[in-house]
Amino acid sequence: MKFDKAFAVLAACMAIAFLSGCRSGPKPAPGIKVESTAKVETIEHSMTAFGRDVTYLPPWLSEYIQRNGTRSVEALPEYKNTYVIVGIERGPELQQVVTWANNFNVQQQIGATISTRVASVFKAHENLLPDDDAAKRKYDNAINTLVNASYTGARKESEFWVHQKITEKGSRDSETRYTYYVLYSIDKSHLNEQIRNEIAKLKSDNPELAAAFDAITAQLLEKGLDWE
């Protein structure tokens, strides 16, 4: 699964292509104009495959693609008190991406989310560390410990796939591609509590190191994972 700049541009183009021709519905957020070098045509998607003539992306997916990623999804009323995880996979065959979705490693993605969101707060409290190499190593390894821990409570909320034809401008050659999106959520208070418990396990008899972990725990109590 890749979240690179090239995909971000393609995803935006896909959303625009999917929504084109609609007289109403979600509108792209204002920002930098995106120029595409390819023509993207939607052949079918999850709903049309079941005989439903739906021309809008699901609200959560529209928010994710067009605005601010998972932050925008978490701002929706139905996900207000949850953290969300969106997985994306692309491939030439539907069964390939369906298999991927059925085997989606949500634990790995929870760890990646924690890593992204807590790195800055760990950095901010480095000044509390003792002048002790062993303590510093333990502190530096703390994020890895949090990332690799097992967390419960994640649930699958929704999924959506789209089958599209991509043709480079000025070319007769084209390729078809399936893109599969899967949405998971986990209650904020439930995950926060689990992270606090993991941090508590990292504390030691070193007062300065313990103070650093206490400061991180206090910030977790105040803001949860809303740190980045």
Q: What does the pLDDT look like over 81-103, one tens digit per residue?
A: 999 999 999 999 999 999 999 89
* 67 confidence band (pLDDT: 50, 70, 90): confident
* 199 confidence band (pLDDT: 50, 70, 90): confident
Q: Percentage of residues in the chain with pLDDT exceeding 90? A: 29
Angle at 206 between CA 204 and CA 210, to 5 degrees: 65
pLDDT digits (tens, 9 = 90+) for 141-189: 888 888 889 999 999 999 999 998 888 887 778 888 999 999 999 999 9
What's the rounded Cα separation, in Å, for the pair 18 and 60? Answer: 15
Looking at the predicted structure, is the pLDDT value of residue 13 above 80? no
The pair of three-digit structure tokens given for residue 65, joined into one six-digit string: 């693609």
3-state secondary structure of 228: coil
Q: What is the pLDDT of residue 54?
A: 61
What's the rounded Cα separation, in Å, for the pair 89 and 76? Answer: 23
Residues near 155 by beta carbon (within 8 Å), at least 6 away in sequence: 184, 185, 186
C-beta atoms surrounding 125 within 10 Å = 17
What's the rounded Cα separation, in Å, for the pair 157 and 83? Answer: 12
Per-residue b/e over 24-62, b at no fewer than 16 CB within 10 Å?
A: eebeeeeeeeeebeeebebeebbbeeeeeeebebbebbb
3-state secondary structure of 76: coil
Q: Looking at mean pLDDT, say which of 6-20, 60-74, 118-132 comes out highest.
A: 60-74
> Does residue 167 contact residue 114 with C-beta atoms inside 8 Å?
no
Q: What is the pLDDT of residue 60?
A: 94
Question: Of the candidates 182, 187, 186, 185, which has an alpha carbon nearest to the alpha carbon of residue 158?
Answer: 182
Q: Looking at mean pLDDT, say which of 21-25, 39-43, 201-205 comes out highest.
A: 39-43
Q: What is the pLDDT of residue 33?
A: 63
What's the rounded Cα separation, in Å, for the pair 48 and 70? Answer: 26
Give residue limits of the domains in the chain.
5-223
Question: Of the candidates 202, 204, 199, which has an alpha carbon nearest to the alpha carbon of residue 218?
Answer: 199
3-state secondary structure of 176: strand
Distances (CA, A) of 107 to 1, 67, 86, 197: 14, 25, 12, 17
Question: Of the candidates 39, 44, 42, 41, which has an alpha carbon nearest to the alpha carbon of residue 172?
Answer: 39
Work out the average pLDDT over 15-37. Answer: 52
Burial class (CB in 10 A: 0-12, 13-18, 19+), 182: buried
